[in-house]
Structure 1
C-alpha cells in the first residue's frame, strides 16, 4: 500500500492536471458529504434538545394496572398494586441508575367556593420531590407550599387564576383569594398561592398528596409514579428493570404495572432524520461517483503509459493477482488522499455555512457536529470508490499480453 501511495504521487508529478482533477472530484464529493452529514447531525441534536425541553424525555411513568379488558369491557381487578412512598423508596434503592421519583394523583371533582358556588375542579395531589417545579414567574400571589408542608400533609392548596376569580366573585381581585378556603372531597383547604394560567378553562388546583388521608370523601388515591432519570440514555433500560422488579415483587399479579416513556418522539425523529440523510446522501453521492470516474480515467491513462512496465513484470513472474492488486491499491490510495482532503474541506464548509444559515433562518439553530458515523461513512466511501472504479482498469492491466506490452 505504501508503494501505491508512492506511485500516486509519482503520477501526480508526471500528469499533474489529470491526476489533480480526478482527486479534486473526490475532494468535492466527499467534502459535500461531510458538510451535509455534520449539519444534519447538528440539526438532529438541536431537535432532540427541543423535544427534551418540552416532553421530559428523561422521565419514566409507572402506573398500577388496576383493571383488565375482557372482550373489550374494562373491569376492575380484585388485586392490584398500590403505589406508595415505601414502594417508591424500595424501587429507587434497587434501580441501578441515578433517579428521583414523585407520586402524583390526578382526578376531578365538584368543589364549592366560600359562598357555596359550584366549581368544576381539575385536581392534582403531589408528593416530594417535585420533579417539575414552578418557575417564580408562574406565581401571581401568595406563596408555594413548602417541602415540610408537603410531607406533613398541610391543608393548603395552589389554585389557578380562574379558580381564584370564582372564589372572590366579580367584585374582588385574584389576590383576595389568598387565605380563603375551597371546599371539596367533604373538607376544605386554604388557598396559599395563585398560579398564572393562560387557559380560560383551566380550573385546576394542587395540594399535598398526604392531605388526602384526612379528607372524608376523598377517593382512594391511585397515584402515578414519575421517575426522572439523570441520564436520558438510561430510560429504556430503567423501564425494563422496573417492569421486572414489579413482576418479581408481585408474582401472583399478571402485569402489575404499566410503564411509558416519551422516547417515542425520539424514535420518530430518528426515522425522519434517517430518511432525510439517505435522500441527501443519494443526491450528493452523484458528485462522489463523478470523482470515481475521474479515478478510473487516471488509472487507464497510467496503464497506457506503463504498459511496457506491466509487460516486464508479467514476464519476470508477476501473475494476474499481483497486477490487479497493484492497480487496485493505487485506486484506493487516490481515493484515500481525496477523501482526506475532502474531510478537511467539508469541515471548513460546515463551520462557515452554519453561522450564515443561522443569520438567514431564525426558526432553527444550525450546528456542526462530527460523529463517529460520519468518519465511518467517509472511510467506507473511500474504500468503495477505490474498489469499484479501480476494478476495470486493474483487470485490463492484468489482461495485457506480456510480449505485446513490452513491444509498445
Structure 2
C-alpha cells in the first residue's frame, strides 16, 4: 500500500513538473483560498489570545467565591439559618495546599467600623476587611506608599492596616506621611503600613488588616468567605468542581450549605464570539477554496485525456479499476496538498508582514498567531479537496476500457 502511494505521488509530481504553468494556474484558486483562510484563522487565534489575556488581567474572571449560606428564602420570606457553616483560617490553608500549583487561596472577612485618628481629631465610617493576602482582594496590585502585608504580620497577628486610596484621601495628609502613623479602631491602635490603589471603588472607604488581626464587634460582621484565584482562566470550571467536592467532604452541610460563584461564563462568551468570527469568515474564504478545487478537477480531467494510452496499457497489463482510481485520487490529493502548502506560506507571509503596518496605523492591541490547529485544519481541507474534486476524474479514468483507451491514442 505504501509503495503504491509513493509511486502515485511520484507520478503526480512528475505530471506537475511537465505541466508546471498550467497546474499552477489551475491550483491558484486553492493557493489564494487557503492563504485567505490562514489569514482569517491567524487573526482569529490572535483575537482569542488577546481576549484571553484581557480576561486573565481581569482578576474577577479567574476567581471562585465561596460564601456560607446564612439565610434561606421560604415562600418569599428570608429566614436566617441557625448553625450555618463558617470558614476558618485552617480551612483556607487546607485549600491552599490542595490547589498549591493551580491557584492562590485567601480568606476574607469584613464589617463596618468607625475610624478615628490617633489624636481623635476626626471620625468617619469605613469598612474594615481582614484578609490573608491582598493580592487576592480584587485590587490592582499597586502600592502607592509603604508596603503590603507579609507572612510575619499574619503569623504574629500584627495590628497593621493598609488603606485604600479613598481612605487615605479622607485623612487629608500626603500618602507618604501617613506611613507609620496610627489609627484607633474601636480602642485598638493599628499602624498604617501602606496605601493601596483600589480602582472602581472610589466611593468606598476601606482598610485592610491581616486576617489574624481582624476583630468582630456587633451584628454587622459578615461571615468569612473564601476566594480561590486560578492561575489560568481555563482551569476555573475544574477548580470549582474540586472545591465543591472538598466542601462535601469537610462540612456536614456539604456544598449545599455554600454559594459557589464564578464569572467563567464570560470566558465562554469570548470563545463563542471568536468562533463565530472564524466560521463566518471561513465560509466566505471557502468560496475561493472551492474555486481552486474546480481548478484541480480541470487539471485531472485534462490529464486523463492526455494519458489515455497509458491508462489502456496499464489495464491491458493487469491493472484493476481500483488501481487506476487510487492513482488519480493520489495525484489529486498531492496537487491539493502542494497548493494548500503554498497557500499556507503565502497566508503567513501576508499576515505577519502586513499586519505590523495595519497595527501602526490603527493601533490594534493584538497580534496574529499561528496554532497547530490551523495546520491540522489546512491539511484536512487539502485532503478533502483532493478527494472531492478528484473523484470524478479518477472514476472517469478507471472506467476506460483498455482497447478503447489505446485506440483513442
Considering the TM-score relative to the shorter chain, is it more than 0.5? yes
Output the CA distance in 2 between the equivalents of 1:325 and 1:197: 68
Aligned residue in 1 for 2:91: 87
Aligned residue in 1 for 2:203: 201
Aligned residue in 2 for 1:121: 126
Distance 1:371 1:90, change over 3 A: same
Output the CA distance in 1 between the equivalents of 2:246 and 2:169: 46
Aligned residue in 2 for 1:370: 370
For 2:73, which of 41, 60, 69 is the aligned residue? 69
Taking only aligned residues, the RMSD between alpha carbons, in angstroms, comes to: 3.2
1:8 aligns to 2:12 (yes or no): yes
Output the CA distance in 2 between the equivalents of 1:71 and 1:108: 31
Q: Secondary structure at the match of 1:61?
A: strand
Report the Cα offset of residue 327 of structure 1: 1.3
Output the CA distance in 1 between the equivalents of 2:194 and 2:386: 71
Whether the aligned pair in 2 keeps the contact of 1:80 and 1:253 (CA below 8 Å) is no
Output the CA distance in 1 between the equivalents of 2:141 and 2:243: 34
The two structures have a TM-score, normalised by structure 1, of: 0.85
Report the Cα offset of residue 35 of structure 1: 2.6
Paired residue total: 401
Output the CA distance in 2 between the equivalents of 1:248 and 1:167: 47
Distance 1:24 1:41, change over 3 A: same
Whether the aligned pair in 1 keeps the contact of 2:55 and 2:233 (CA below 8 Å) is no
Output the CA distance in 2 between the equivalents of 1:7 and 1:135: 64
Can you give the 5+ residue segments of structure 2 that lack an aligned partner in the other structure?
none
Output the CA distance in 1 between the equivalents of 2:407 and 2:349: 49
Aligned residue in 2 for 1:223: 224
Equivalent positions of 1:95-114 (< 5 A) are 95=99, 97-108=101-112
Q: What are the Cα deviations for residues 211-267 of structure 1, in whole angstroms up to 9, with x where unaligned? A: 333x54364541221223445444332221111111022244461333233432221
Report the Cα offset of residue 357 of structure 1: 2.4
Report the Cα offset of residue 45 of structure 1: 1.0
Whether the aligned pair in 1 keeps the contact of 2:67 and 2:224 (CA below 8 Å) is yes
Output the CA distance in 2 between the equivalents of 1:294 and 1:336: 14
Aligned residue in 2 for 1:379: 379
Output the CA distance in 1 between the equivalents of 2:95 and 2:193: 33
Q: Secondary structure at the match of 2:107?
A: strand
Whether the aligned pair in 2 keeps the contact of 1:357 and 1:366 (CA below 8 Å) is no
Distance 1:149 1:404, change over 3 A: closer
Mean Cα deviation higher: 284-293 or 130-139: 130-139
Aligned residue in 2 for 1:290: 291
Distance 1:156 1:291, change over 3 A: same
Report the Cα offset of residue 143 of structure 1: 5.8
Q: Secondary structure at the match of 1:328?
A: helix
